[in-house]
Amino acid sequence: MSKTIRIGTRDSELALWQANIVKKLLEEAGHSTELVPVKSTGDLVLDKPLYELGITGIFTRTLDIAMLNHDIDIAVHSLKDVPTVLPKGIVQAAVLKRGNVNDTLVFKDNEEFLGAKDAVIATGSLRRRAQWLNRFPTHTITDLRGNVNSRLQKLQDNDWNGAIFAAAGIGRIGIRPEEAINLDWMIPAPAQGAIMITALEEDNFVKEACAELNHEETEICTTIEREFLNKLEGGCTAPIGALAYIKDEEINFKGVLLSPDGTKRIDVTRVKKLGEHNDMAQFCADFIIERGGKRLMDKIKHSDRKTNVFSTKRFTEDQRLLFHEKVVAESSDFIKISLNRIHPRFLKNEIQNVVITSKNAVESLTTNYSAAELQFKNIYCVGRRTKRLVERKIGKVTHTEKNAKKLAEYLVEFIEGTDVTYFCSDIRLDALPTILTENNITVNEVEAYQTKYDGFKVDDSVESAMFYSPSTVESFVRSNKNEVIAFCIGETTAKEAKKHFKDVRVAKVPTVESVIELVNEHYV
């Protein structure tokens, strides 16, 4: 029996319109659906320009969390709002046929101000601001935030000459005024005008249902645009435009990077035959970078501000892009891992009960032995990521819990036999072995890897630190005695942090990206 597909969406009029389109298409394909409106940070914070909020994916993060928590099955987004790198476990399930890609100027009275030295134009987009000032350098740009309806009303209520909107947005909900013109000279945001559906990677039923709605031409073009954006390392805080379209079996691309004030501009154009376009985004991004784009991006991204957040785990570039512009974050691995050789005597017979509490233990086991050599009857582990790694590299997991204490309590009640083999580090928490031993369960500890503290003193300007395990907390406090806000990946880490810091906060889901969101919420 097919399940009802729960469609997550923001609760603005435009978002609901888009979600209802998806709902209609799914139901026409024979699926049962239900709308689940969810408020986003972008809807709730209306007193700052969008680019000042700086959170890549500000309109998608709440829906991502709802999906990872299994509160919704799919999410419907304006594709231009979606980060170029999706959270782990979430995939692009479909892109609908694209609408109007243009930006539109809505004006009052007439267009004569376009030839005037002085005019006031409203927009919350740094890309639109930069391109407008590049064309009309003497004009004034004022900030404009809110949903489409409220922005149109603000235009009427203020002494502005005009405001810039996405043509698709005002067109879809039927409120495009007569006093409006498309700005075909303005290069749109990557993927502007396209609607995207995301789903959980593991949900094959939903992915197959959504695949029926996918529009291949739109997918090809928006993928190129978003890859171009990704290669330039741009998000809400960089003025980047990109547009790809297919004509006569050829893909035409144009892209632009500007300084925020519009005084500097680097353009690129490219035409490739359909099917020979795989390197198009990379070529165009390199073209921009080699002509001063790197210096321009560095100037946009970095300033003389001092570091205020330090991460005890090194960021990937994609993670670094997620930070609010008020966050000046540095990162380094405060913990170094060395995998041990596990002696064959520990594995000479089938082991009935195995406990694994980290991905490092999995890596140690699979570095030493093949899956066929690891004969475990019952595997118990901590954390869904460790579980996924175990099942991919070793075998089926019997049971998993969020932390070691909960796993120990489960084993006390349900374990088969009276002993476990625990593949652990030379540094580990006492909760699990202590609880098991107190309940007459023998714990055979095998040191699978070593944990080395590799911390150092951070700058005095650091106000907060990001922690991902109790060991990262210990490594930090060995070299740093200053009080900081501790942003923690989970409760076990938070418990250790509370021994040293007064202000300890825990991420909603146990991912680096969720800890970053916690940091952004504090600095907005």
Structure tokens at 441: 């369960």
**Three-class SS of residue 476?**
helix
In angstroms, rounded to a whole number, what is the distance separating the alpha carbons of residues 479 and 403?
A: 27
Lookup result for tokens 């900030």: 143
Contact 257, 268 (CB under 8 A): no
**Three-class SS of residue 72?**
coil
Structure tokens at 122: 């409203």
In angstroms, rounded to a whole number, what is the distance separating the alpha carbons of residues 122 and 154?
A: 9
In angstroms, rounded to a whole number, what is the distance separating the alpha carbons of residues 326 and 329?
A: 9
Q: Side by side, which strands form the sheet with 240-247?
A: 240-247, 250-258, 265-273
> Does the annotation count 43 as an active-site position?
no
Distant-in-sequence, close-in-space partners of 474: CB < 8 Å, separation ≥ 6 = 427, 453, 496
Long-range contacts (CB closer than 8 Å, 24 or more residues apart) made by 262-267: 262/129, 262/130, 262/131, 262/132, 262/133, 262/134, 262/135, 262/137, 263/133, 263/134, 263/137, 264/292, 264/296, 265/134, 266/291, 266/292, 266/293, 266/296
Structure tokens at 343: 């002696």
Contact 489, 468 (CB under 8 A): yes
Distant-in-sequence, close-in-space partners of 344: CB < 8 Å, separation ≥ 6 = none
What are the backbone angles phi and psi of residue 246, rounded to the nearest 5°? -105, 130
Structure tokens at 189: 């945001």
Residues β-bridged to residue 78: 195
In angstroms, rounded to a whole number, what is the distance separating the alpha carbons of residues 361 and 422?
A: 10
Catalytic, out of 43, 64, 73, 81: 81
For the purposes of burial, counting CB atoms within 10 Å of the CB of 306, is it exposed (0-12), middle (13-18) or buried (19 or more)? exposed
In angstroms, rounded to a whole number, what is the distance separating the alpha carbons of residues 247 and 268?
A: 18
In angstroms, rounded to a whole number, what is the distance separating the alpha carbons of residues 185 and 9?
A: 32
Contact 279, 299 (CB under 8 A): no
Structure tokens at 6: 């729960």
CA atoms lying within 13 Å on the CB side of residue 372: 0
**Three-class SS of residue 184?**
coil
Distant-in-sequence, close-in-space partners of 266: CB < 8 Å, separation ≥ 6 = 256, 257, 258, 288, 291, 292, 293, 296
In angstroms, rounded to a whole number, what is the distance separating the alpha carbons of residues 18 and 61?
A: 18
Catalytically annotated residues:
81
